[in-house]
Structure 1
Amino acid sequence: MTPDRLAQLMQLRHALHQIPEVSGAEEKTAAFITGYLRGYDPDQLLTGLGGHGVAAVYDGVAEGPTVMIRCELDGLPIEEISDQPYRSTHAGRGHLCGHDGHMTIVAALAEELAARRPARGRAVLLFQPAEETGQGARAVLADSRFAQIAPDYAFSLHNLPGRRVGDVALCSGAANCASRGMRIRLTGKTSHAAAPQDGISPAGAMAQLLSGLVALGGGGDLGADYALVTLTHARLGEATFGIAPGEGEVWATLRTVNDARMERLIAEADDLIRQICAECGLGVEISFDDVFEACTNDGEAVAILQTACRAAGHPVALRDQPQRWSEDFGQFGKSARAAMVWLGSGEMQPQLHNPDYDFPDDAIPVGVSIFASTLKEILG
């Protein structure tokens, strides 16, 4: 990649970095990407996919498979801490997971595909909404128009702090953990703070749950039985001194390597919660948010990525354990041969979702070359 081209792509990323939008509200980002893609003459341009999703299609000369390269549109509801001139202009929101870099890499492929169509099949560049909530991939797949571009192969990347910028890693099989947010609402009876015995407070049950839930999943090695329960929020009554509380909430994130273990963990947590609430005379409602199934890399897709990375001059480190964080990209693997590759974003880079995270521009050409090589490997 020439210095001028890299400078152009850096400018694109910085522009995207300034306008982060949270999951399901990516209207401005989608419009920006749509305008950019129109400049590179796709054969088909779908907008509003599963919300604000955008897909650019480049048809090959001959019949062949459909290959989709996917990235994410959404940012995070976190205030960015940065003195960069391109820092977020949206208060309380930031591109702190690197999706601005992922979008830039996939958008850069449009120029190459416009200049030279695939020899066969077709390439689809998908800009997916709402990855952070786990709802986006499902919504895109549920959109009736997705059938027009349904891929035979699907690929994506995610940047990986803690590894040198541009380092490439792959995992065959389990790639990202399953996770879901569990919201527990406890209902008792309020009373005057001078007469707590006349009410039913959830305080005792909450104390038991805070320790009991964590005991169900302590983490450890990422084997098939791995389970982790992380307490993320708790609230007891109202912020007042005159009322003995009658309701409360506990939020926890459940995490496992595979979906079967997740179902067991949910059942174990459900049994514990209902037993404690029954003993304390409390009503209980349990609901789930941010539901991610486990993400699994297909063996053939991994082999293609390995070959493509070598052809692009990037050695690949093979891992035997998945990432602990979750991804909804695995939804596409239910109907396509799919794999995600990890791209190093710096040994000293802050962790994903940190308020001072910033995708490294030097990783852009590596990501572009990997995906360009992947498309060439399958489509010629």
Structure 2
Amino acid sequence: MAIINRIGDLGPEMTAWRQHLHTIPELSFDCPKTSAFIKARLEEIGVDAIHDRIAQTGIVAIIEGKGDGPTIGLRADFDALPITEETGVAYASTHPGQMHACGHDGHTAMLLGAAKYLAETRNFAGKVALIFQPAEEAGGGGEVMVQQGIMDTFDIAQVYAIHNAPGKDFGKFHTRAGPIMAAADTFHITVTGKGGHAARPHDTVDPVVAACAIVTGLQTIVSRNHRPLDQLVISATQIHTGTTDNVIPETAYLNGTIRTFDKEVQAMVVRRMEEVVAGTAAAYGCEAKLEIEFGYPPTVNDMSKAGFAAKVAAEVAGDAGVEADVEPVMGAEDFSYMLEARPGAYLMLGQGDGAGVHHPKYNFNDEIAPIGASFLARLVETAQPVR
């Protein structure tokens, strides 16, 4: 494994940064302690400019290289999750009910490590924009930063990000050209009938039966309305209705998620859900209201940038340390908004065995930080070489 020597030397410092961040997890956009820590480190590192208070607590820092050239963007998210930590580590969360259960503390440490090396060496042309982003887990901080103009303001030509991957081989990169993560939308359905005594169902219009039929009907969208080779998930995850055993309720509520990779498939699902929900409810004498909350769009890697990133990753991890055509996953990621704005690529970096992300016993593996930081640094040097 060809970790950059200087970045390897920064391993203990990156570990210290990461473990400090782990003690102060913050949620969504409200990350003042995290943002202040990042800004202080960037000032120590000696970047050329720091632009803060983007998307409330986000930061874009600029490092200038040698000579003219484009600007490449590197993004790390830094928000945490509303989970009570169960790791038992000495540097566990000091904020009750909040923890870094997805490794965003590690992503931030890797980008800071790459920043320190790049600020020392400046062995690249143009500029690098270090994007430290809040609210990946909830709120869409990536979208907000794009809407607030970071791509145009800092003239970012291409953009990249890494996410840790527990359960994947240690130090192995995973990516693919095209869609790598799904769009995540949420549906809400309220079915209204006529309540009454459970012993006299003929005097009622039962929304429970209609709700159950709607759940079954929604699955026909997956099995009968879309091309089998296209990935699609529709999962009803909640049914809430009734208060006691001998009363047929007036209403039933359904909730769930839709995962797609293609906007045409997404549009088809919305159309068919409207038809299935309304038609099924009517068949049972009920009325139904469908609401869909559109979440993060699919994360789609640029074809050429994904190939380029895979080649750079192979320089760090070796050819066997890169899987360049990984299967896409149905999870969602708001880096998708940055990839809609600029070409680039999203990669996952295996961190070996351990609890999965969003688990109370999850912990970022500090040993992968020099690998990820080396990749980010080499990405800049390779994309924008000094002439």
Aligned to 1:286: 290
Aligned to 1:317: 323
Aligned to 1:51: 56
Question: C-alpha deviations, 1:103-147, integer Å up to 9, x for none?
Answer: 111121221122133532110111112222362221111114552
2:280 paired with 1:248: no
1:198, CA displacement in angstroms? 5.8
Aligned to 1:362: 367
Within 2, Cα distance between the matches of 1:199 and 1:92?
Answer: 44
* TM-score for the superposition, normalised by structure 1: 0.89
Kept after mapping to 2: 8 A contact 1:218/1:229: no
Kept after mapping to 2: 8 A contact 1:304/1:377: no
Kept after mapping to 1: 8 A contact 2:177/2:304: no
Aligned equivalent of 2:27, options 18, 22, 29: 22
Aligned to 2:343: 337
Within 2, Cα distance between the matches of 1:250 and 1:99?
Answer: 32
Within 2, Cα distance between the matches of 1:11 and 1:245?
Answer: 56
Question: C-alpha deviations, 1:155-183, integer Å up to 9, x for none?
Answer: 00111222111111221122112221112
Taking the TM superposition and a 5 Å limit, the aligned residue runs for 1:51-90 are 51-90=56-95
1:300, CA displacement in angstroms? 2.1
Cα 1:16–1:314 shift into 2, 3 Å? farther
Q: Percent identity?
A: 27
Kept after mapping to 2: 8 A contact 1:134/1:291: no
* TM-score for the superposition, normalised by structure 2: 0.88
Question: C-alpha deviations, 1:234-282, integer Å up to 9, x for none?
Answer: 2114x45686422332111111232221221222222111112233444
CA RMSD of aligned residues (A): 2.6
Cα 1:223–1:109 shift into 2, 3 Å? farther
Aligned to 2:266: 262
Where 2:156 maps in the other structure, the secondary structure is: coil
Kept after mapping to 2: 8 A contact 1:202/1:247: yes
Kept after mapping to 1: 8 A contact 2:28/2:139: no
Aligned equivalent of 1:204, options 201, 209, 227: 209
- Listed as ranges, the gaps of 5+ residues in structure 1 are none
Within 1, Cα distance between the matches of 2:33 and 2:191?
Answer: 39
Within 1, Cα distance between the matches of 2:193 and 2:23?
Answer: 46
Aligned to 2:334: 328
Letter in 2 for 1:80: E
Within 1, Cα distance between the matches of 2:239 and 2:43?
Answer: 47
Letter in 2 for 1:202: P
Aligned to 1:137: 142
Kept after mapping to 2: 8 A contact 1:193/1:243: yes
1:360, CA displacement in angstroms? 0.7
Letter in 2 for 1:325: G
Query: Relative to structure 2, which stretch is displaced further, 181-190 or 96-105?
Result: 181-190
Where 2:324 maps in the other structure, the secondary structure is: strand
Letter in 2 for 1:259: K
Aligned to 1:126: 131
